[in-house]
Amino acid sequence: MKNSENNNHEIDRILEMTRHVETPPHIEQRLRERLAAFRERLDARERSTATAQRQLFSPTRKLAWACVVTVACVAAAVVASFLLTAPRNGVYAAAMEALKSVKTVRISGWSLYPEQQFYEELDPSQHYPLEIWEWVTENRRYRQYYREGHVTEWDDGERRYRYHEQRDELYVSLSTVSKRPMRAQFEKLAAELGEFVQRGYTRTDLGERTIGESQAKGVRLEMPERARKEAWFDTTTNLPIEATEYVWKDGAWLQLSEGTIVYDQEVPIRISGYAPPKAKQTHYDSSIDPEFERYNLHLRRLAARYHEAPLPDRMELAPREVEEKMESYYPGRLPDIKTHWVRPIHSSLGSYLRTGKWAPHGTLRMPPDLQNIKLNHDLIVKYGVSTRERNEFVLNSLGLEVVEVTEDRKVWVAHYDGRPLKPWEQVKAPVPREDPRAPIGPGMASVFGPFSMVELFEGFAYGQDYDLTATGLVIVDETGLATVRAEGDSKKSREAAAVSNESPRWKGDESVEIARRWFAEQFGVTFTEDTRPMTVYVVRKRNAS
Amino acid sequence: MANTDAGYYQRLIAPIEDRMMRTIWRIVRDTDDADDALQEALATVWKRLERIRSHPNPHAVILRICVNAAYDLLRRKIRERRRRELHAIADSRADTKPSARDVLSHEERETEIFDAIARLSRNQAQAVLMRLVQGQCYSDIAQALGCSEATARIHVTRGRARLRKLLSHLAPHPLKEVP
């Protein structure tokens, strides 16, 4: 117990000592700049809130404020008007029913407020274009696109992007369209209906008129000298097809917005394939892990390119426009593209080829100058293309080629003594890694499995020919143990062939004896040396002899 | 609050500017990370401003947000490092780093401790950092975490107990519980 207390004290002591650590001056200066910028934003917000509060609590402005909040966009105005007029005569239910079979809703028009502003700030001469799309995808997911003035929002079912053109800033958050947006809007406003009625709106029927090819009936809701909404409903479907909104300002009605609603129109590719632009600043909502967000966004932009240009027949090596550091993974999925995937290559050519399977390991030869070629690309690949083909394509794109030569190579022939093998989950690397902060040394686990015997051999050869000279170890497997080599093998088949849970790191000469001992003790696998003609894959500049 | 003479910033942030910066720096110890963590913290303050303003102890809440931002960044970095270690070939630079316990410098021990803190539950980590790094009293921690003072104490105690286990190799001798 004493030791444990000592340890606790040591931890406390070190942590408490950090209380004496001061921020270095150059860092403090940088952080203070951040704080100063934040102060400006906060002050601006405060001024804006103060204005809002003055308006909200001013008797003459109270309704106007409510109006701005409730009908932040024309779609909401339409629905609000619709709800106010409909419930008693069953139109509401009929419209809700009609909405179920609607696949696409498009609202277009204009408004005076692209963001929440206050009536004093509205400029009647400035009409901001408004365009909203909502549609159902083939797999019954909802999508939404919203553009009002200089603000564009795009919800792809996973992420919601809000791009502010004037500020050149992009905000990324989780999708909000788990449920049909228009329906959700209906329901939300239905709940607020009572409140609207209490406020004293009066209703006037505007009669019927023809809008496009539809016959429409109109309704006006008005609170004298405060707010007015007008909506026109298709007499057949009962769905709203036009809406306008006014506010009483300086002794006259000022029109705030106008929207036309069209249903089941084909969604243009510029909307369905919209990709958020590259912004000066990108902000992520705290609810999402930004680690891979930059890459996910990159994939979306990449996919957007192929909405206008054809996808490659097999592959395309696309250079990235900027040297942008981002955490990436593969296969990268291109949204809405099911035929191709992405292999990010942000490394040296040597690293890329070394980690790709080039069977067998230890047979690839590449001069150091070619290994050091820096790549900052995305390889767009059609599903089904083999690794070998991918690698050759990358090399060809860089003016390189692979030639196969036959050489006599020293090989290790692996034999198995037939002993029963331990369950693969119990087989660990020979050297424990006690300090997780220390580098991975010879014989320590570097990758976690399950691994078959041939995969362990490949790991061994990989470490022994790390420099890609094709002069290191080549292992010929004559163990007869099950193997898993094909890409995309299922977990089940991998486990069926598995012999180890860990694949050790075998880099350097000091690894050889540890490996020999480990293979013999754990699996009854021994090696005999031989010289055999082997194929060596030589990477060189094209047309070089 | 909007109608008072002192603004949001002046009342909420200015008095604890230095503490915010120090808190973040003490945890992350990297210029870019400190910058990122502060931005993250300020973004959270921006988003939760209304709630923070109405909180009985807004300064404690903001400091907790700073701890949280730095802690998240710490965890992310550790995840990255683990991934690099497991899925890539170890960085050649790392080969030169000392690893034996007896040559661990104070800074390395400190880093180890922060790594271990990153493995605690969020509440425990926050409580431990607020208590030991920021030196806050339990009532402030409780208010910031939205729990009772007793719960805040439990978070700190359990956090320390778990740290003790995670960092057993830092003990002067091998740990052996004596009955």
Buried b (16+ CB within 10 A) or exposed e, A335-374: bbbeebbbbbbbbebbbbbbeeebebbbbbbbeeebbeee
Return the CATH class of domain A62-263. mainly beta
Q: Which of A31, A41, A45, A55 to mutate: most B Cβ within 10 Å? A: A31
- On chain B, the residues whose CB falls within 8 A of the CB of A46 are 2, 7-8
Interface check for B25 against chain A (CB to CB < 8 A): the answer is yes
ipTM of this predicted complex? 0.73
The residue of chain A with its CA nearest to that of B65 is A286
Q: Degrees (nearest 5) of the Cα angle A128, A172, A105? A: 50
Question: Residue holding tokens 């429409």?
Answer: A216
| Residue A429 near residue A445, CB atoms below 8 Å | yes
The residue of chain B with its CA nearest to that of A433 is B99
Q: Write the DSSP assignment of A234-257 as a string of letters.
A: ETTT--EEEEEEEEEETTEEEEEE
The residue of chain B with its CA nearest to that of A466 is B89
Interface check for B167 against chain A (CB to CB < 8 A): the answer is yes
Is there a contact between B47 and A286 if contact means CB atoms under 8 Å apart? yes
The residue of chain A with its CA nearest to that of B177 is A1
Is there a contact between B21 and A41 if contact means CB atoms under 8 Å apart? no
Query: Is it true that the peptide bond before A450 is cis, omega within 30 degrees of 0?
Result: yes
- On chain B, the residues whose CB falls within 8 A of the CB of A9 are none
* A–B CB contacts, 8 A cutoff, strictly below: 164
Q: Which amino acid belongs to residue A433?
A: R
Angle between helices A74-85 and A181-191 (to 10 degrees): 50
Q: Which of B5, B107, B175 to mutate: most A Cβ within 10 Å? A: B175
Is there a contact between B22 and A21 if contact means CB atoms under 8 Å apart? yes
Residues in Cβ contact with B5 at an 8 Å cutoff, skipping those fewer than 6 apart: none
The residue of chain B with its CA nearest to that of A53 is B2
- On chain A, the residues whose CB falls within 8 A of the CB of B54 are none
Domain spans, chain A: 62-263, 289-398, 406-538
| Residue A122 near residue A257, CB atoms below 8 Å | no
pLDDT tens sequence for chain A (545 residues): 444 455 556 666 666 666 667 778 878 888 888 888 888 877 777 665 544 333 322 322 222 222 222 233 444 445 555 444 444 445 566 666 777 778 888 888 988 865 544 455 567 778 888 888 888 877 777 788 888 888 888 888 878 888 888 778 888 887 776 555 566 565 555 554 545 555 566 778 889 999 888 899 888 878 777 778 788 888 888 778 888 888 777 788 888 888 888 888 888 988 888 888 888 888 776 556 666 778 888 888 899 888 878 999 999 999 987 776 777 777 788 887 888 999 988 888 988 888 766 667 788 899 999 999 999 999 999 988 888 889 999 999 999 998 999 998 888 999 999 888 888 888 889 988 776 667 788 888 877 778 889 889 888 988 888 888 888 888 888 888 877 654 445 666 777 788 998 889 888 888 999 999 999 999 999 999 999 898 899 999 987 55
Q: Which domains does chain B have, with CATH numbers?
A: 8-168 (1.20.140.160)
Is there a contact between A45 and B49 if contact means CB atoms under 8 Å apart? yes
User: What pTM value is reported for the model?
Assistant: 0.45
- On chain A, the residues whose CB falls within 8 A of the CB of B112 are 437
Report the alpha-carbon distance of residue A418 to residue A479 in Å, rounded. 9
A357 to chain B, minimum CA–CA distance in Å? 14
| Residue A455 near residue A498, CB atoms below 8 Å | no
